Structure 1
Amino acid sequence: MGTQTTTNTTSAGRQALVESIEAKARTIRCHIVKMVGLAKSGHPGGSLSAADIVATLYFHELKHRSEDPHWSDRDRFVLSKGHAAPVLYAALAESGYFPVEDLWTLRKIDSHLQGHPDMLKTRGVEISTGSLGMGFSAAVGMALGVKVDKKDSRVYALIGDGESQEGIIWEASMFAAQHKLDNLVGILDYNNMQIDGLVSEIVDIQPAAAKWSAFGWHTIEIDGHSVEQLIDAFEKARSIKGKPTMIIANTVKGKCVSFMEGVVDFHGKAPSADQVDKAICEIEALGPLG
């Protein structure tokens, strides 16, 4: 499946694009809540916070083909915060990599949709992730490989704010800057919550923008739930030469579900059947699905 890679410059076209991505993000959120609820385990909070980011990537920014997952000229997306697998699975299903009905097998024995992404089981998964920081390091290696192969493909890696406490993140960031990997874009899902509580109280990563800049990256800070700002940030990143880009996306844990928003417990707690119904009603009330 090929996706749009250039922004429609007309006002009406731009608005239609934004609305279509927003609708797709709502669909992804409904899938997240339902699949985690059916599995009775999983990580809904950080999956919901990343839905707008992932929707903008898969339905606008990335060059990819669901009928040819290993297309050599594709862009690569790495979900380094692998516990948020539901958001990736939902985007892949909506993109045609496998049937949407497969989502309801999340975390079941013999399902190809395990609790963390598995490149050997799931079409469209670039690399198995879950051990925090390793996916980001792999993305840096992919970006270097693409450059060595002289291809114009780009690599996108989504990391968590709690994940950013890992030393391997900063080792990889230095390597990426040293090798001027301007085909690499990191996105920091900054919802300020991890499994044990607030990131700011456990190991604060602020000032995040200043740190990434000091490590040699171009930094862009945005509202991670604004599709317009996400589109603009990805477009800006394509214009940056000689250094990688880190997009610091300020988000809300559990976004669009009232009883999950800003609640640490829903980092890794599944909603009950009644909560699933309530959450889906709330999401659907926000606008049409895509």
Structure 2
Amino acid sequence: MSRSDRTLDLIVYLLLTVLVIITLYPLLYVVFASLSDGDQLMAHTGLMWRPLGFSTLAYERAIANPAIWTGYWNTLRLVAGGLILNLTMTVLGGYVLSRRDALWTKPLMIAIVFTMFINAGIIPFYLIVRELGLMNSLWSLLLPFAVKTFHLIIVRTAFLSLPSELEESAQIDGASHLTLLLRIILPLSMPVIAVLLLYTAADKWNMWFMPSIFIQDRTLYPLQLVMREIIINNVTDQISSGASVGEAQKIGETIKYATIVIATLPVLLVYPFLQKHFVKGALIGAIKG
């Protein structure tokens, strides 16, 4: 390598190192703060490179809080229902729109893409959900979001990119549309399906705004709403019950960080296993001119 190439590589590695530090440090700060002593954490200002003292009391109090486990259960149901409903509807819709010999696919595609640019707003959306009788149920977070236009376009484009000869040979052998979809198209499109799995799961896992509008029953709160109460509304009384006022305030600060770690940990554990499919899935499902 020439000197200019080595210099360029050095600059790239330095920039990537800085980017990793900027991205990773907030997560490390939350972890360190959650394991810190309450007194030292409240007195500390500036950057934090290690736990201030060491205490697992925040995790013990957070794990003992039934609201967090109820939120976990509701979020898991939301994620599971969203994955089943979204993937089923998206795959079926993408298959129909990718058929080259089907009628009205172009007008349908134009109408579907049109919905990406026209939005009536949150008030009509709320009124429709209320009139359908979906208020205060997890169905209000599943049925209105059963299909995402962007995901549908990705799946349709991925199906269109497959060789038509595979479909023709399967049809000659007597394969039905269901057999063609399940045994040929889906196995060849697994990178795209993996990307949609992660996108949908992350979307349902992080959902909090729509639940705050449609859900009033606290027993149906997903995890993000429970975490919002603890972090933003400072609702830590139930978790720090039994402590004095000053101790409750100190525990409350560390509990906020411990709750963030507990809510984020599942996504961090799943993401590395699906991340390898991102580039391939994005390329397969990219919109081609």
TM bucket (normalised to shorter chain) is: under 0.3
The higher relative CO (CA closer than 8 Å, separation ≥ 6) is in 2
TM-score (norm 1): 0.22
Larger Rg: 2
Task: Considering fraction of residues, name the structure with more strand.
Answer: 1
TM-score (norm 2): 0.23
